[in-house]
Amino acid sequence: MGEQMQNSPRGIISGSTLKWIAIITMLIDHAAVVLLIGWARYRHGWGSGIESQAFYSAMRSIGRLAFPIFCFLLAEGFSHTKNPWKYLRRLSLFALISELPFDLAFQNTLQGRCWIEFSGQNVFFTLALGLLAILLWKRLMHSRMIQSPAMRAGAAAACVLMLCVTAHFLHTDYGALGVALIVAFWLLREQPWLRDLCGLGILAAMILFGSHWIELLGALSFILFHLYNGERGHQPKYFFYVFYPVHLLLLVLLRYLLFSL
């Protein structure tokens, strides 16, 4: 999700390929939630075949790969972007644009009087808060206004904690631990095995704080990180930003046409 990636001769997967994997697995995950749950509500129970609960669980499991990949690409993108504030503004803008499609898809607000509600916010908010966290960390750790290295580290850690708490109270997708995962991927980007271990710990913590155990399957995406060649690859610059709200709207439309939900 950045401008340019660092080269590595051992990898075989570009940033573009990683992003496509994330997009496809995210689409599979969202189709399960919007369409298969819609089917179950429409029929007052699960069917057989692709309408079965087992197929739903399989699709949700595949979808666990998406978020860690987006976090990894965000950390890589920040390391090489020339204008991190512009990057942050773009994420924030699409967070606002995507909120209505997100609520229609996952809160089923089409059936209510108000199509916007605030019990959960879309993943762009999490990505934007994560980006802001690493941006402030970098600025504070290199600040000339704070002389003591310990005080710089303390201030940076306090900012990250504050943004994690913000994600928690805003009920963003993946919440505080989602922001923490982005920061960990950036801080440990040059220590891949330690990055993986820390990432696994954060995914495990999600389960302790109420997420389903399948979140641990997100760790399978770490294998792809070791195959990453550091190259951006060919990709339309704004495709993902536009794809996110558009695919949610299309899924909502399809659910309405099929089940009038």
Least Cα distance to 236 among 24, 7, 20 occurs for 20
Q: Using alpha carbons, list the distances in angstroms from residue 235 to 8, 17, 31, 94, 98.
A: 19, 9, 23, 18, 21
Backbone angles phi, psi at 65, to 5 degrees: -75, -25
Q: Give Cβ neighbours of residue 18 (< 8 Å, ≥ 6 apart).
A: 69, 72, 73, 224, 228
Location of structure tokens 């389903």: 212
Q: Using alpha carbons, list the distances in angstroms from residue 37 to 106, 125, 172, 212, 244.
A: 10, 25, 21, 17, 20
pLDDT in tens, the chain (261 residues): 444 444 444 688 999 999 999 999 999 999 999 999 988 887 888 888 888 899 999 999 999 999 999 999 999 999 888 899 999 999 999 999 999 999 999 987 676 667 778 889 999 999 999 999 999 999 999 888 888 889 999 999 999 999 999 999 999 999 999 999 999 999 999 999 999 999 999 999 999 998 889 999 999 999 999 999 988 888 787 898 999 999 999 999 999 999 886
- Which tokens belong to 216? 């641990």
Which own/partner pairs from 207-212 qualify as long-range (CB within 8 Å, at least 24 positions apart)?
209/177
Q: Using alpha carbons, list the distances in angstroms from residue 67 to 49, 78, 182, 222, 247.
A: 27, 16, 10, 11, 16
Helix/strand/coil (H, E, C) string of 156-174?
HHHHHHHHHHHHHHHCECC
Burial (CB < 10 A; 0-12, 13-18, 19+), residue 187, is: middle
Domain extent listing, the chain: 15-259
